[in-house]
Amino acid sequence: MFRFTTGERAELYGAILQAFGEANERLETALGLDEVRARLRSAGWLDDIHDDDLQDALRQLRTWELLDVVQNHAENYRTAEEYERRNLQYSLTRRGEAAIAAVEQALSVLAATGALQTAVLEAVADRLNELYVLLGEAGSSDRRVFSTLQELESHLEALLANTKTFNGELQRLLRAEGADLATFREVKAATVAYLQEFLRNLDRRAQAVASAVQRVEQRGVFLLHERALRGAELPPVAGADPAPAWLERRRARWDGLRAWFLPTDGSRPRVEQLHDVARRAIVTLLQVLDRITESRRRSSSAAQDFRELARWFAAAPTEDDLHRLWSAAFGLGSARHAHLAHPDPELVPSSQRWAEAPPVEVSALLRTSGRTERFTRTGKVRDVGGIKAARAELARKERAELEAAWDVLGTGDPVRLSAFGRLDHAVFERLLDLLGRALAARPDGGGVRRAVTSDGRVEIVLRAGDAGRAVLRTSRGQLEAPDYLVEISVPGGGRAGVRSGVRDGAEAE
């Protein structure tokens, strides 16, 4: 049915149909070829068009069943051309009429600007009051009842349609597609003002409508519809009696009215949803406006900085500039360094150039095979002075002893001091050192003392235990002390084996 709206010749088809539509309004139901041509101009088709093309177009519209051909056999024609020109009369089919109506409707929706007119609400209330009066007077004419009811319904329809378009318009506005900030601001500010005004009056008017509905219902809706039916003087239709269907439609409309202003089931009237929509729209619009104003006012807050940076990124000339900007603004990039060094860097004098100095040792496999192969780091050269090595060895040993001591002492969870039982003397010294530090610290509110070693790596937490005494033995003697609850935390958590060893010992005792 709407095929004529697309394609190359859509405009011509549209113009032709419009010509027929206009003719229809003047009650000319059939047009000949020349009449169509004459009316095309008024339908907005200004180009010249050849007869054949026009015929083609009309034929096409016929195959789409939008036009019908009426023939007049009463006259005599000399040529086929004349026959076509004067005999064939085209008229719109029902489908054609519907198509025109639909297109017009679509255009009007597109052109419509949504507005919530409070005046419509007033008109609805007025008509209802009028109905109330009419129903109250015994002598009033059914015809008046009918026409008033129809007015009421058309106002109601207008209200629904307007709300729909207004809502759509609002959503479009909220989507914030306005590129021109100045008009954007203006339009939105005006909308906000309008909405506020609208809200102020909405309550009162909705209330007026609701009470008018109630009043009419006191007189009886059924009666109202019956009288309107009589006033309508429905034309007879073939088949069934049109009255029940008509009445049914009226009742549905009345239910719609109630749903809007006075729902029977006690739910919220739909007119209040208008409230919500409008209020939400005001809030959102104000937020958007705020954002615009805020973006104009330059403050150096972090959010502003990020926004500004976004603009810079959007405007950076080249891709490398993007990365440079990232590096400058965020400084989150990693350092980058070579990892291959000379085995003994001090052997190469610093006065040499790189070209003269010996190269670093790169895995031969990597270079020669070109295949992916794990290569190891260059081996450490065991070197120069034996003394240096010995010292390093000694240092390592001491270090290892220390580590071992911490491993033994690391408890993880709190244990009793007595749980340590028998200890190696070196380890015992470490423990004593830690205890000394902890006891030197001032206890906090819960009587808990905390201390760390001077390197900060090991932490001890000391809590008073029950009144028991702990005895620690080493190869050189024994220590008796209150049985504190001790918690020693070592980086890496100590090794579980050693720790459980301590506990096992405690259980054995």
Backbone angles phi, psi at 192, to 5 degrees: -60, -45
Place of tokens 């729209």: 281
Our finding on whether 374 is near another protein (CB under 8 A) is yes
Structure tokens at 321: 């500039």
User: Distance between CA 488 and CA 458 in Å, rounded?
Assistant: 7
Q: 463-473 as b/e, with b when 16 or more CB fall inside 10 Å?
A: eebeeeebebe
Name which of 303 and 508 has its Cβ closer to another protein.
Answer: 303
Helix (H, G, I), strand (E, B), or coil: what is residue 276?
A: helix
442: CB partners within 8 A, 6+ apart: 449
Quote the least distance from Cβ 287 to another protein, whole Å: 8
Size of the site for another protein (CB under 8 A): 88
Stretch that binds another protein, among 66-74, 118-126, 147-155, 319-327 (CB under 8 A): 319-327
Residues 362 and 340 sit within 8 Å (Cβ to Cβ): yes
- What does each C-alpha distance from 228 to 237, 260, 313 come to in angstroms? 18, 22, 69
Our finding on whether 402 is near another protein (CB under 8 A) is yes
User: Distance between CA 258 and CA 248 in Å, rounded?
Assistant: 15
Quote the least distance from Cβ 401 to another protein, whole Å: 9
Stretch that binds another protein, among 28-36, 106-114, 171-179, 240-248 (CB under 8 A): 171-179
Place of tokens 């000391």: 462
User: Distance between CA 218 and CA 440 in Å, rounded?
Assistant: 93
Strands (E), 54-113: 67-70, 89-92
Backbone angles phi, psi at 459, to 5 degrees: -120, 140
Please give the residues from 430 up to 459 whose contact with another protein meets the rule CB under 8 A: 433, 453-457
Quote the least distance from Cβ 50 to another protein, whole Å: 46
Please give the residues from 347 up to 366 whose contact with another protein meets the rule CB under 8 A: 350-355, 357-363, 366
Residues 413 and 480 sit within 8 Å (Cβ to Cβ): no
Our finding on whether 498 is near another protein (CB under 8 A) is no
Nearest alpha carbon to residue 227 among 142, 147, 149: 142
Stretch that binds another protein, among 77-85, 155-163, 274-282, 398-406 (CB under 8 A): 398-406
Please give the residues from 248 up to 307 whose contact with another protein meets the rule CB under 8 A: 288, 291-292, 295, 298-307
Neighbours of 204 (CB within 10 A): 10
Q: DSSP per residue over 413-447, as a string?
A: S-EEGGGG-B--HHHHHHHHHHHHHHHHSPP-TTS
Our finding on whether 222 is near another protein (CB under 8 A) is no
Quote the least distance from Cβ 352 to another protein, whole Å: 6
Name which of 107 and 286 has its Cβ closer to another protein.
Answer: 286
Torsion of CA 341, 342, 344, 347, to 10 degrees: -130
Neighbours of 385 (CB within 10 A): 8
Please give the residues from 476 up to 495 whose contact with another protein meets the rule CB under 8 A: 491
Our finding on whether 338 is near another protein (CB under 8 A) is yes
- Which residue of 7, 44, 189, 312 would you call a contact of another protein, by CB under 8 A? 312
Place of tokens 């935390």: 489
Our finding on whether 334 is near another protein (CB under 8 A) is yes
Place of tokens 């008796």: 480
Our finding on whether 181 is near another protein (CB under 8 A) is yes
- Which residue of 30, 247, 325, 439 would you call a contact of another protein, by CB under 8 A? 325
Residues 6 and 100 sit within 8 Å (Cβ to Cβ): no
Stretch that binds another protein, among 210-218, 220-228, 330-338, 477-485 (CB under 8 A): 330-338
CA distance from start to end of the chain: 100
Our finding on whether 367 is near another protein (CB under 8 A) is yes
- Which residue of 139, 235, 236, 331 would you call a contact of another protein, by CB under 8 A? 331
Quote the least distance from Cβ 280 to another protein, whole Å: 14
User: Distance between CA 414 and CA 489 in Å, rounded?
Assistant: 10
Stretch that binds another protein, among 134-142, 211-219, 329-337, 477-485 (CB under 8 A): 329-337
- Which residue of 101, 106, 119, 310 would you call a contact of another protein, by CB under 8 A? 310
Our finding on whether 376 is near another protein (CB under 8 A) is no
Name which of 53 and 305 has its Cβ closer to another protein.
Answer: 305
Our finding on whether 239 is near another protein (CB under 8 A) is no
- Which residue of 27, 111, 238, 315 would you call a contact of another protein, by CB under 8 A? 315
Quote the least distance from Cβ 430 to another protein, whole Å: 8
Name which of 188 and 250 has its Cβ closer to another protein.
Answer: 188
- Which residue of 369, 393, 496, 503 would you call a contact of another protein, by CB under 8 A? 369
Quote the least distance from Cβ 442 to another protein, whole Å: 21
Quote the least distance from Cβ 395 to another protein, whole Å: 7
